[in-house]
Amino acid sequence: MAIQGFGEIAERLRRSTVQVTSRRRAQGSGFIVKSDGAVVTNAHVAHEGALSVQLWDGNSFPARVERRNTRRDLALLRISTTNLVPVTLRNSDDLRVGELVIAVGNPFGFVGAVTTGVVHGIGRHPGLGPTKWIQADAQLAPGNSGGPLADARGNVVGVNTMIASGLGLAVPANTVSKLISGDFDQAPMGVVLQPTAMRVAGSEQLGLVLLQVDSGSVAEYASLRQGDVLTGIEGRRLGSLDDLEAALEGQGERVLHLQFIRGDPGKVRTAHLRLGASRLTAA
């Protein structure tokens, strides 16, 4: 790639990258995904206080959180302006190890810093659960979080999120696309949960104790009660709280089958949660 071509690509990415500030303190980066004021960043960047987004030209706008998914550390912000230049999201499933990548962000408040690297791996990272990550050696620093990771053509393949084992980790762009489309919106269950270790059929497993069941919630209409312990989803044992959060994600009306125990640990029952229904009826 010609140096001039690379410079043009980097400049285009810089113009679509923003600085996200919370409570008057620079928190990190983000990037424009729609011309009507939609901005993606990390959930941990937009986690508290009044938010503002500063564009590449210095203009600043108040921002509100439109969607947030803490499990994937993503947030979709909205600012009241139009005619913005959005990035192009690439199908991140096509990304391959060895590809050149470009990271843009605001490390230590330095606006629009550009670094390059190579993709080292794509998949899970030890100690970070089942989440899929793009792992690259592009140099990141505090302030890069939420900024774009792009390929050599300038198409965004991920969201820079953290550094682990000396490599930068980015949330894949396909996950971002699902956030934008609402696929990660969670149907409210109406409960307060607490994880607990328990023994079922002679083996130890995770249980989720219902500390509270809200009146009129889908959990109440499914006949779940305070003190019940969730043990499975669709006949599969719970591995973590993430399993339940993932099951609640999605759009449209559907029924979710949860296994639970009430009193007798030897008797497993099933609750039928009607999610996304405009009117609740007892299952």
State mean pLDDT over 122-127: 85
Q: What is the dotted CATH code of the domain comprising 191-275?
A: 2.30.42.10
pLDDT band per the 50, 70, 90 thresholds, residue 95: very high
Catalytic residue among 16, 29, 52, 73: 73
CA neighbor of 161 nearest in space, from 145, 147, 177 = 145
Higher local confidence (pLDDT), 60 or 240: 60
Q: Which residues of 187-197 are buried (b: 16+ CB within 10 A; e: fewer)?
A: bebbbebeeee
The answer to whether domain 3-79 and domain 191-275 are alike in fold is no
CATH topology classification for 92-181 = Thrombin, subunit H (2.40.10)
Question: Would you kindly state where each structural domain of the chain is located, as residue ranges?
Answer: 3-79, 92-181, 191-275
Percent of the chain's residues with pLDDT above 70: 93
Given the structure tokens 């696309």, which residue do they identify? 177
> What is the predicted pLDDT for the residue at 3?
46
pLDDT per position as a tens digit, 70-92: 788 899 999 999 999 999 999 99
Percent of the chain's residues with pLDDT above 90: 61
Q: In this predicted structure, what is the pLDDT of residue 270?
A: 96
Give the pLDDT mean for 33-43. Answer: 96
* 44 catalytically annotated: yes
DSSP state of 147: -
Predicted confidence at residue 1, as pLDDT, reads: 39
Residue 165 has pLDDT above 90, yes or no: no
Other CB atoms closer than 10 Å to residue 220's CB: what's the count? 17
Average predicted confidence (pLDDT) for the chain: 89
User: What is the spatial distance between Cα 171 and Cα 197, in angstroms, rounded to a whole number?
Assistant: 31
- pLDDT-derived band at 264 (thresholds 50, 70, 90) equals confident
Catalytic residue among 145, 151, 228, 243: 145
Residue 14: per-residue pLDDT: 96
Which residue has tokens 């990037």?
31
Domain 3-79 architecture: Beta Barrel (2.40)
Of 23-27, 38-42, 234-238, which one has max mean pLDDT?
38-42
Q: Which residue has the tokens 């990190």?
A: 28
Q: Is 80 a catalytic residue?
A: no
Asked about 73 being catalytic, the answer comes back as yes
Residue count of the chain, please give it.
283
